[in-house]
Structure 1
Amino acid sequence: MSDDGKHGTLTLGQSSDEGDQSFSERLRIALSGESPHAFSKRSGIGDSTMRKYLLGSMPGLDNLLIIANAANVTLDWLAAGKGPMRPSTGQFLAFTASDAEHRQVLLPRYDIRASAGSGTLVVSEDVEEHFAVGRDWLRRNLPPWAPLNARVGVLENGGDSMWPTIQDGDLLMIVQDVEWRIVERGGIFVFTLDDRLLLKRLQVLDNGDLRIISDNKVYEPMTVLRSDIPNRLILHGQVFFAGGKPRNYPS
């Protein structure tokens, strides 16, 4: 850092001797004047998550790789202030050069909770972080109808209305861009009903009405009339995986 308090300029291949910089300072340099909002939109990292990083929070490896790739800086420099800021000519970033890119897929985890209860008011859909999932595992576990290039997202369940199938705090993987014919087959879906985000089992009745069912029998089912479905319901995706940490531990 220069004596006048301004950030010095690092040219291609030049090593940084500013190891005392914080991650947030290096992140601001990496943005190169681009607004955090624009960078968030371009990289896929949510606005609120970027604000946390700029205030001093340290991202995990997956988000470090995404930021380094989007900002065209080296991972070592971004994470620890070591080595050159920019990759040398002909050098690829770890995120794009690694063989792991071909074996893994980064799934966005949205900063919202799907409610297995009375419903969660939808405020935002920022991407909080990314999960690395094996590509082969994903192909094996996707629903049979889903294409190999299907959009998949991760979010957290909140509530007990889908117990015992899905528990409070479980992470959900959903296939997005679901057509109505998939709903007609039945299954567990994430959807917005009257501006509230819900996780429920859906069943299309013979007359076209939609039955909304909780696996926990404490909760009564709901019915949406066929004529009301277009105005009241927005379908986000079908759940194909749910899991969390073990609930019972040996003493």
Structure 2
Amino acid sequence: MQASPTINSGFSGFIGHYYRSLVDTGRTAASLHQPLDGFRQQLIQRFIVPVVSKLPDVSTRIFPVNWVGVQGVRLSVVLPIVMDEGIPLMWVPRASILQALVAARDARARRSILGRRWKDVATDCEQVLTEIVHDRFASDVILGRQAVASLQGGYAAASQALSANLLDSVLRKHLNASLRKQVTNHKNGNRLDIDSFSARLGLTMAPVWRGYAEYWLDKGDRVPYSFTRHASAHAVSKRQYSRINAVVAIMLISSVLKLLDEQV
């Protein structure tokens, strides 16, 4: 089964609407300076309270385990990291590194964190890959673990090259053509419409979209400093190939395969 962009309710559609409904109800009561009438109280007790009591369970289904206990994880913070900087945050890295990333002052500081903690991030990626259970991803997991092992063994360039090509193969094998186009399309300045996806799908694919930024050697484009699949394939150089970019690449592979495995 190939992944679909409509597997679950959209992030803004479900969480946003639900949150606004609760806030609006409270504001209305406060503005009237009176308690809610009996009928509305019954509605809240019957429908809203049971849902609120289950919010921790709902949140663990929407957000991965590495987000648990992390402070400051707001959409306004997370989206620029995954969309504009291309750093994956779903399932990897571990909570303590994720906390440092969301608290960092800027993109340069976040790359520095990945550079300092690369061994821990590699371990996290290896762990996530071992958790993938469906046979259809078995060969991808083997290659993903080889990319991790290459990085751990000191062969960052080999790791990045393998991860970049594996990512492309995984998208072609396991996503339908429409979804694959959505998460890789940069033509005419298009941005990924993350609101059209489920929370997990959108937040996982956002850094994939960033990783597919256009690069045209024949147009004289400057080799990008951050990881991109096209530059990894067509602009092999010290500027594109680095240990930090290799870390980002194995994070992409690990998070995408984990997402696909959970949605089978």
Q: Comparing both structures, which one devotes a greater share of its residues to helix?
A: 2
Rg bigger for which structure? 1
Q: So what's the TM-score if we normalise by structure 1?
A: 0.22
RCO greater where, 1 or 2, for CA within 8 Å and sep 6 or more? 2
